[in-house]
Structures are given as structure tokens and as C-alpha cells.
Amino acid sequence: MSAEKVPGRFTLVLHSHLPWLINHGRWPVGEEWLYQSWADCYQPVFGVLRRLADDGFTDQLSLGITPVLAAQLDDPTATAGMYEWLADRQLRAVEAALDDDPDRRESGHREYRNSAAALADFETHWRHGGSPQIRSLLGTGVIELLGGPLAHPFQPLLEPRLRRLSLSEGLNDATLRWGAQPTGIWAPECAYTPGMEAEYADAGVRHFMVDGPTLHGDTALGRPVGGTDVVAFGRDLTVSYRVWSPKSGYPGHASYRDFHTYDHQTGFKPYRVTGKTVPSEEKKPYDPDRVDPVIDRHVDDFVACVRERLIAESDRIGRPALVVAAFDTELYGHWWHEGPIWLERLLRRLPEAGIEVGTLATARRDGFVGEPVDLPDSSWGSGKDWRVWEGPQVQHLVQLNSEVTETALHSLDKRLDGAAARDLTADQILRETLMTVQSDWPFMVSKDTAAGYAQDRAYKHAHATREICAASDAGRDEQAARLAAGWRRADDVFGQLDARRLEERS
């Protein structure tokens, strides 16, 4: 029997993103990052959504998938590489299962079962890429799909013409892959600066995500922004931090599998968290039998938290409130091994507890919208401002982005002046510029997570942009075309990008 209905509605938003990784190294950062996320997160999360859809669930969550991730999930090189990676993982599991160490043997048997299931799922659902899966889920109505700008730039710091082009091209990419243009987006890093709402309106975007402090903590309703009817929805930190908090989130429980500690002989992660201050060499073996009741406790705890928050916020504003919890999709399975199980149990348990579940689109449609608001410069990064992407640690990348953008736009304006036919050299200049200014590179430097890799990627794409532009500006069109073709072979992404759609300089 279902519990008494709670006022208001709960919305879960997931943001799926990885930078372009194909042909840019393998380990410890590179394609391995893509394949781990695919196997441990995207496959199980999509499995959760398929099962929910099969059982008649609809409007379960708003799922953001960035164009750069979508491109990788569809790329033939990536799908072939993923299949080989899964097969290799299964072979490594066989070796571990034959080891003399009993804990390693147990881990090997467990990983073999997991690998066999992942291979079967991949052969059944993923061999032709991610788009067929996404189209299928859209057809069931179990998700709302959120789009985003091409190549995931930090939009407030991007030159306005490039910002508008990146947004429109990202939405076009979604339409091309999935047959429907998203009406909502997860802006990269939830970054905002005044005026972007008008660009959203012009592009057909009806709603977008910001972090809770951007709405001064009042996230109980979406809010129209800046004189438009584009609605900003804010992440409820009281609820969201219940799951993913630096100090007390669920994934840090002692029984869950530890993300950071490897068995370097096998490449597997056979240890449990054990304790927050326990060094890696003292971690205890992972025991799945310890996990199941912990997952249930965390589901019940989150349901109770949502229930209390909905009641309190509805009482506070005098009408049914909205509670939005938002996370990176990669938390579920990649960072938090047990996350997909928790997610499925949660979505089945919420309606039993009297909690109505919906998407951002249905929240806007059904009137969970308050009075208009003007928003400040903001993001969901440290300090909720822009320091991660323009602070002292990344000033060299800020300068690089500015110089490369100026160089590229100067060359493009010359090449595209009066152009009628498509110009593949111009397309590649634009493509490399967008790859240079991805928000991932300064984030990784500021957070000191593979900072060397991030800087190498930024400077490599900047070099590609500059050398094509230099040849083009000097009138060496054949050389520019050869250079553009070579860089295109290195990163064969966003083939539909047409530089002629760049606005003329005003």
C-alpha cells in the first residue's frame, strides 16, 4: 500500500559528460576513462531505465548528455575499442580467478561474472552506438533528454559569437542523433552570466539548470529569467548533498567498493572503503554480502529526506514545491559502484512513499514556476563563482583561449567572406577552436586531476588552430587544407559542423 501523498514533486537530473578522449592516450587518462565509464555507469544506468520503462514508469528523470559524449558513444573507433576492452577485462578476470591468493581469486570470479554480463549487454544494445539506445528511451517517455552546447565550453567566458554557435550546433547535433531537439539543457558547469537567457530563448531552449546558490538557496520553484520565459531550475543542495558530499555522502560508507584503490596486478578494485582515514594498503576486501542492506538504508534515508524537504518547502511557500536533486551521471557506477542499484531502488520506492516524480519539462508544464528573477554570474564550481575556470591557477589557459579565439575568428572572417560553398578548412579551424576552449581543461588543472594531460590537450588543439590559421592567412590554401585534413583524421568529431553558420562580425 502506498503512503499518503506528499505535496509537490521531486525531480532527478543527471548530467552525462566526458571530454573527447579517443586517440588521446589510454592510461591512466584517455580512452580507459571512457571505457570504464561506459561499462560501469552508462551500461548499468541505461539498464535501469530500460527496466523502469518496461514496467510502465514514465517521466523518471531529466537526462543530460553532452554532444561530445554522444559523439564518442556513436564513434565506430570507440565502439570497437569498448568491445575489445570488455573482452580484455574478462580475460584478466580469468587470470585473477586462477591466482593463489584467495581474495584475488574471489575478485576474479566476481569480475568475470560482471564482465560476461557487460559483454552480453554491449552486444545486445550498444554495438551500433549510443544513439539507438537514447532514441529508444525517448520513445518510452521514461526520460526527458537535456542537450548542451557543442564541445562543452565554459559559456560565460566564451566569445559571444562562438557561444551562440556552440549552443545552436549542440542542439542541432542532438536533433541529428536522436530525432528530437531538446527544449532543456544542462549548461556546462551550470555556468551563467546575465544575457545568456536571451540566447537560450533564441535557440529554442525553454529551461536550464543552475546551482542552488544562484537562486540564493530558494530552489522550491523554477524561475523565469531576465524578462524571458526561459526558466532556471536550481539544484537543492540540502537533498543533493545527502548523496554526494565531500564529507558525508553515501558513497563513502565503509562497506561500499573503494574507487581509488587498485590491485595493480589485475587492474581491478577489489577493496571496500573500510574507513575514510584508512590507507590503501590497509583496505579490507570488498564483500558484496555486506552491501545490500546498506543500499536499502541509504534509499530509505534519501526518501525520508526528500519527503521532509517537500513538506517543509511546500509549507514555506504556501503551495506545492519542487525539489530538484542533480548529479553527474558518472557518479552512478563509475565513482560509486553500487550507485545504479541505489538509483533503481530509489525510483521504485519514491512513488510507494507518496512522492510524485517528474522531469524538468513536466515541472515547467505543470506550473512549478515562481516569479521572475535576475541571476548573478555563477557556476556550480568551488565558491559557486568562476574561480575554477578563470582563477590564478589557470590564467595561462584563460590567455590561451582568448588568443586562440581571436586568431581563429580573424581567419574565419577572412575565409568565409562571401563564401557560398562549404569550406572544410574553415570547419576544422572552428572545430579545433572549440576543442581548445572546453571547460574540462581548466577544471582538471584547478582541481589538480590529471593537470598535465589537460594542459597538453589544450595546447595541442591550440597548436592545431594556429598552424591552420597561419597557412590560411598567408594565402597557402593547399597547405592549410592538408593541415586541416590531418587534424581532422586525428579527431574525427562533429562532422556536421559548418563554419558558414558562424555569425558575421558586427
| Catalytic residue ranges | 189, 328
Show the CA angle centred on residue 239, arms to residues 201 and 306, nearest 5°: 100
- Give me the phi and psi of 15, to 5 degrees please: -115, 115
Query: Strand 231-234 to strand 223-224: parallel, antiparallel, or no bridges (unpaired)?
Result: antiparallel
| Cα–Cα distance for residue pair 434/404, rounded to 1 Å | 10
For helices 131-140 and 160-178, angle between their N-to-C axes, nearest 10 degrees:
80
- Residue 128's Cβ-count burial label (10 Å; 0-12, 13-18, 19+) is exposed
Q: Which is it for the CA torsion 248, 251, 252, 255, positive or negative?
A: positive
Which triple of cell numbers denotes residue 75?
Answer: 564513434
- Give me the phi and psi of 56, to 5 degrees please: 90, 5
Among candidate residues 429, 458, 428, the one with its CA nearest the CA of residue 445: 458
Q: Which amino acid is at 499?
A: A
CA 392 to chain centre: 26
Summary count for the chain: helices (H), strands (E) = 18, 9
Residue 141 CA: distances (Å) to CA of 206, 267, 340: 19, 38, 20
Residue in the block written with cell 584508512: 278
Residue 74 CA: distances (Å) to CA of 43, 242, 300, 405: 14, 34, 37, 28
User: HEC states along 153-215?
Assistant: ECHHHCCHHHHHHHHHHHHHHHHHHHCCCCCEECCHHHCECCCHHHHHHHHCCCEEEECHHHH
Residue 183 CA: distances (Å) to CA of 22, 47, 145, 221, 222: 29, 25, 8, 18, 15
Q: How many CB atoms lie within 10 A of CB 505?
A: 11
| Cα–Cα distance for residue pair 431/492, rounded to 1 Å | 10
User: HEC states along 224-266?
Assistant: EECCCCCEEEECCHHHHHHHCCCCCCHHHCCCCECCCCCECCC
Q: Which residues contact 31 (CB under 8 A, 6 or more apart)?
A: 21, 22, 23, 24, 25, 78, 81, 85
Contact 299, 342 (CB under 8 A): yes
| Cα–Cα distance for residue pair 192/375, rounded to 1 Å | 8
Q: How many CB atoms lie within 10 A of CB 348?
A: 16
3-state helix, strand, coil in the chain (%, to 5): 55, 10, 35
